[in-house]
Amino acid sequence: MPALRPRSGWTPAGIHLRLCCEVEENLDSGLRRNDGRKSLLVIAVVLLVMTWFSSAPAQSLDQIVAAAKNEKELSFIAGPTTFGGKKGLAEIEGAFAKRFGFEAKIRFSAGPEMNAMAARVISEFKAGGKATSDIYLGSLGQFANLVRENALEEINWSGTFPWIAKAMEETVSRRGVLVYSSPRGIIYNSNLIAADKAPKSYEDLVDPKLSQTWAGKIAVPPYPNWLVELALIWGEERLKDFTRKLVALNGGWLRYGEEERVLSGEFPIMANIGDALATQWKWQAKGAPLTAVLGSTPGDTSYFHLGVPKNSGHPNLAKLFAAFMISKEGQAIIEKHEFRSSHLVESSRMAKHLRDHKIKLQEPKELFNFYLKGGGAKLNEELVKMLKQ
């Protein structure tokens, strides 16, 4: 095989491609000449070189910081209250500058919900232009779509940022990092339902011995996704039986974010809310009588990640921002404004709560693979019909 000398302008990806061609050409010629030993030697050498390129270090933290200083500002589009909205993000700017030694402007805009935002990221990437948001925040269902479309940059988060553990990146194949975990569960008004009569699990909601307290008065969320994901823990038949019984007790539909109607007494209890513990902590801090109960074992959970679109206009600043939000400082700001945090950050309130109460959460990798394979569509359709009955 002729010596491979990198040419001007060649990237590691280009060299990798040429190496693959060399393997194919030499294997073919070796087999034609019945020179199997030479072919095997060529393959061994090329594979060693390919391994060297694939394991060659990417940007170091210092290199990312240096490059981010030149990018100066970050565009971030998400829900209006994300990370505390404009007030919280102003705090993040100050803490970010203190941590990394330079100031960067976060240009935050309230945008569409996560599914619509994921669709925008994909369409902008396919169109070949710059992303309108340098960073994306979403749950595992949306990340599965983004990974399928190859719209997010793969980053060696744990190998670059010392405070990021491998578990924080591995669920979404290094296309993002886990920024907060949101266990789902039941919420109820503790002034209206005594602790000894309150449910301890989803199954208690439909237990005839307990459900007399809330029959015809329980609020049910109109979304089927929490039930679809619960089926991964329970199995479909058990889940469908539960859904039928729950619908028979339903007193009205209640969307996530409308928990004040439980506090007002309009509904004494809600069958499920998307972030039960954060909701409880938020209202109990105000002295409100709201209690949360995780409904399953392990706890059914939404996992939210930050990722960097491949067409980000400020990719280094985006990487640094995402990594900062997983740091102790970043998590403390999220907790202050949203009562949310990652169960994988040891110092976080969520991690401490799960440790103290010996709670295990649903395995995020299982959930991600479920969505990556496009699972749940048929069950989702069935549940939509059941909820409308």
pTM of the model: 0.85
**CATH class, range 61-181+304-351:** alpha beta
pLDDT at 389: 80
Regions of the chain with pLDDT less than 50: 1-32, 38-56
Residue 83: DSSP 8-state: G
Token reading at 214: 């809330």
CA pair distance 318, 312, nearest whole angstrom: 8
356 class by beta-carbon count within 10 Å (0-12 exposed, 13-18 middle, 19+ buried): exposed
- Domain residue ranges of the chain, discontinuous segments joined by +: 11-40, 61-181+304-351, 185-298+377-388
Cβ(283)–Cβ(263) below 8 Å:
yes
pLDDT at 352: 97
Helix (H, G, I), strand (E, B) or coil at 181: strand
pLDDT at 374: 87
With vertex at residue 59, the alpha carbon angle to CA 54 and CA 61, rounded to the nearest 5 degrees, is: 135
| β-pair partners for 262 | none
CB atoms under 10 Å from CB of 238, counted, come to 13
Q: Which amino acid is at 156?
A: N
Token reading at 219: 């609020």
pLDDT at 59: 86
Q: What is the dihedral of CA 125, 150, 175, 333, to 10 degrees?
A: 30
The contacts of residue 289 (CB under 8 Å, 6+ apart) are 189, 190, 191, 263
pLDDT at 35: 56
Q: Which CATH architecture has domain 185-298+377-388?
A: 3-Layer(aba) Sandwich (3.40)
DSSP string, 214-262: TTTTEEE-S-SHHHHHHHHHH-HHHHHHHHHHHHHHEEEE--TT-THHH
The reply to whether 61-181+304-351 and 185-298+377-388 are identical in fold is yes
Question: Which among 182, 183, 187, 184 is positioned nearest to 198, based on CA atoms?
Answer: 187
pLDDT at 37: 54
Q: What is the pLDDT of residues 126-184, one digit of tens each?
A: 999 999 999 999 999 999 999 999 999 999 999 999 999 999 999 999 999 999 999 99
